[in-house]
Amino acid sequence: MQRTLSVMFVIIWGYLTPLYSQVRLDSWRSHSSMNIASDVTVDDKGNYWVSTSGGVFKYNPVESEFEEFRNIGALTSINCTSIEYDEISHRLYVGSDNGDIDILDNSGNWTHITDIRFAKNLTKKRINGFLFTNNKMFIAGDFGLIDYSYEGAPGTYAQRLGSFSQQTEVKQLLKWNDTLVAVTPVGIALTPIVNNSLGDPSTWRNITISEGLISNDCHSAAVLNDSLYIGHNWGISSYKNGIVKRSLKINEQNSLDKILKIDTDNTSIIYSNVFFLQRLNSDRISGSSFNPFSEHKTIVKNGTVFLFALYTQNGGIGIQKGDKQEKFVPVTPYANLFTSLSVDTRGILWASGDRDRGTGSYALRNGEWKNYHPSIRKDITEDAAYKVATFSDGSIWLGSWGGGITKVLEKGDDFEFTRYTNANSPLVGLKGGEGFVVTGIAAKDNENTTWVPTFAGESEGPLLVAFREDGNHKGFFAPLIMRKRSFTEIAVDLSDTKWFVSRDDDGMGYFNEKNTFDNTNDDIWGLLNTSNSGLLDNNPSCLAVDKNGVLWVGTSAGINVIYNTSNASRSGGKVTVSKLQTVTNQVVRDIAVDAVNNKWVATNQGVFVLNDDGSEVLSIINTSNAPLVSNDIKAIALDDNTGKVYFGTEQGLSEATSLSVSPLQDYDISVYPQPYNPEKDAELVIEGLSENSSVHIVTIDGRKVRTLSTKSRKTVWDGKDNDGKFVQTGVYLLNGVSSSNDKSGVTKIAVNRK
């Protein structure tokens, strides 16, 4: 049985910027896909270490156990491009796309080299590989070649390798006798391993097509029997004693035969293409057992040959066992795309990617991921899910780019997927391609009817489709003022008015059927844009209706607010579109409303947390003050029952826990830790509060110590009195009183400062 150990670290509120301290987040965790492997290495204990686009994982083949490493407490960047174990220092080196190098020693401590990331003279940063020799670490990257001492001190940057242009990409480094070999897309560069003038171009010698290479485009190399073999897309060259030979030439007519990589097992040269692993001048080793190959890597360690296969299409990684591959990859999300998020009634986070990359949907339940994709499950026929919505009836709806919309319902320990297209619903696709049905995100009204906007440009068809519980589904056709079907986002306000925004510069529309589903004569349609209202732009990105019925509209220039949404349900009613002053000139991606009506605003520069009316910025969260995987936040989802907050990006998902939790109808107060030492425990957590609570902390004899207020079920106390001083050791009473329902509750707090 395979087991997975995830590395999770608790980050206290002090991690966040002190400028805005009214929002507290802790228990940070990162989630990312490790299905796209970039490199692999083997340590002295026989563990496999794999770098991926979502971090690093270690696999113990004896115990079948995984351990995952991401940006919290381990890596500086989770998009890892190379990995190598140094047998001299017994340290693991991880390179990333942004130039960072993370180093893990035998004691489990991580250190970091960030010089390359912050080097202003380097226009390209990606790390492609490492070579350890002569007490030096040579680093190959898109920027060229840099060496470092084993103490992490930077040495020489070789800007120019012979006659090659400055900052020529180095794909691979290897040692050939006393020679350092650099493999580049414009040829091979050679210099002595012991070269005190590494940065001097004249100390390098170039081998190119002029010397007989099949091509200047070299992607890999290997040393065998004192010869240097060089891999090209369409062949393999060999070089020895100044003479270049063609060891293999491939017909360029078939792109599937293109060589991906070459290396050696010390007995022969091994090369890979999309479908086969093969020895030079010998039989094939095997064909791809899972996905096609993206490349391979052969590692010889203590006489044992490890032949790894890296797969395409999120296929993970495998190791050769006889004539087949044995696959090993941790259970993580299908992809790192988290552009739409929603939490269902069971506390499950549902996520989907974008419209073009076919990543399906994925769900996080109790810390475990499950992927819903046609390549994994035969009952799922659509992989282009890009909009996800969850509702109080337990249903999940997945809007797709071309595959209609899918309703997901829990069935036993699993979920059942029902897809609606033009074949079984009023949905209509593109003109001439009616089966290509693009739907936006779904929304529910007060009658539990599900409303879905359709996108098809100027092709005829319903702009909105209503899916009713009785199966009486119906399409609603917009009037001429909205002749285009260009709307993909929708929200329903407290008056059952449907609001929808365009992705094609057509503004924001609204519709109300006046509770007469089958009578279209009294339907109200309206269109708002920059010319007839205060709308900031004509292609708003998101909509949210808060607990007071106010409509929040995200745009590329900030936020619009509509307070009088009920006017849209009345014939001739005028709707006023206001501009929010606290968040201006921000590209807003998503808006989420938490349990106490605060607004969480996703932007390309992090997250803004606003109070209930948006007049105050409570917090700004970004990578400078929190362990977000990226500042470009695409989506936010909130779990009101736990206070969990999810931040979706195109590089992974960040998770934290806030104090915004739905209050209880009645008090059920608990506090922890007990006993509480404010100088060691930092804070006392108070849970089980009713709405709009005043929390009074008093001594046993009734003297007032501290008063707190919260709208949430949960708050914290720092152990200080109203004068900012730590309270003394003793027993205190905590009394919670609600201003909304006259409920109250009492508990005791034991403080021990010893």
In the three-class reduction of DSSP (H, G, I as helix; E, B as strand; rest coil), residue 89 is classed as: coil
Nearest one of 288, 196, 188, 272 to 228, comparing CA atoms: 188
Specify the pLDDT at position 5.
40
pLDDT per position as a tens digit, 245-302: 999 999 888 889 999 999 999 999 999 999 999 999 888 999 998 999 999 999 999 9
Q: What distance in Å separates the CA atoms of residue 637 and residue 604, rounded to the nearest whole number?
A: 16
Domain boundary among 74, 96, 118: 118
Q: Domain for residue 531, yes or no?
A: no
Q: Domain for residue 48, yes or no?
A: yes
Q: What angle do CA 628, 633, 639 make, to 5 degrees?
A: 80
**With bands split at pLDDT 50, 70 and 90, how would you rate the model's confidence at 4?**
very low
Tell me the C-alpha to C-alpha distance, in Å, between residue 32 and each of 37, 128, 315, 340. 12, 21, 15, 15
Other beta carbons less than 10 A from residue 574's beta carbon:
10
Specify the pLDDT at position 3.
37
| CATH code for the domain in which residue 84 is found | 2.40.10.500
Specify the pLDDT at position 18.
34
pLDDT per position as a tens digit, 215-241: 999 999 999 999 999 999 999 999 999
Q: Domain for residue 111, yes or no?
A: yes
Other beta carbons less than 10 A from residue 744's beta carbon:
16
Other beta carbons less than 10 A from residue 187's beta carbon:
24
The pTM of this model reads 0.92
Average pLDDT over residues 59-69: 97
Question: Is the backbone of residue 585 left (phi > 0), alpha (psi -120 to 50) or beta?
Answer: left
Q: Domain for residue 742, yes or no?
A: yes
pLDDT per position as a tens digit, 111-126: 999 999 999 999 999 9
- CA 497 centroid distance within chain: 33
Specify the pLDDT at position 323.
83
pLDDT per position as a tens digit, 367-424: 999 999 998 888 898 899 999 999 999 999 999 999 999 999 999 989 999 999 999 9
Domain boundary among 118, 141, 165: 118
Specify the pLDDT at position 522.
92
Q: What distance in Å separates the CA atoms of residue 692 and residue 741, rounded to the nearest whole number?
A: 9
**With bands split at pLDDT 50, 70 and 90, how would you rate the model's confidence at 19?**
very low
Tell me what percent of the residues of the chain surpass a pLDDT of 90.
87
Domain boundary among 118, 145, 160: 118
Q: Residue 28: CA atoms inside 13 Å, Cβ hemisphere, count?
A: 21
Average pLDDT over residues 524-545: 96
Tell me the C-alpha to C-alpha distance, in Å, between residue 204 and each of 86, 175, 192. 26, 14, 8
Tell me what percent of the residues of the chain surpass a pLDDT of 70.
97
Give pairs for 630-633: CB < 8 Å, separation 24+. Answer: 631/604, 631/605, 631/606, 632/589, 632/604, 632/605, 633/589, 633/590, 633/602, 633/603, 633/604, 633/606, 633/607
Q: Domain for residue 727, yes or no?
A: yes
Nearest one of 338, 339, 290 to 313, comparing CA atoms: 290
Average pLDDT over residues 335-352: 97
Q: Using an 8 Å Cβ cutoff, are 147 and 187 in contact?
A: no
pLDDT per position as a tens digit, 600-641: 999 999 999 999 999 999 999 999 999 999 999 999 999 999
Judged against a pLDDT cut of 80, whether residue 15 lies above it is answered with no
DSSP state of 163: T
Range of the domain at 66: 34-118
Q: Domain for residue 708, yes or no?
A: yes
Specify the pLDDT at position 571.
82
**With bands split at pLDDT 50, 70 and 90, how would you rate the model's confidence at 22?**
low
| CATH code for the domain in which residue 675 is found | 2.60.40.4070
Average per-residue pLDDT for the chain: 93
Nearest one of 550, 653, 556 to 610, comparing CA atoms: 550
Specify the pLDDT at position 99.
97
Specify the pLDDT at position 12.
34
Q: Domain for residue 642, yes or no?
A: no
Q: Domain for residue 94, yes or no?
A: yes
pLDDT per position as a tens digit, 422-461: 999 999 999 888 899 999 999 999 999 999 999 998 899 9
| Count of structural domains within the chain | 2
**With bands split at pLDDT 50, 70 and 90, how would you rate the model's confidence at 150?**
confident
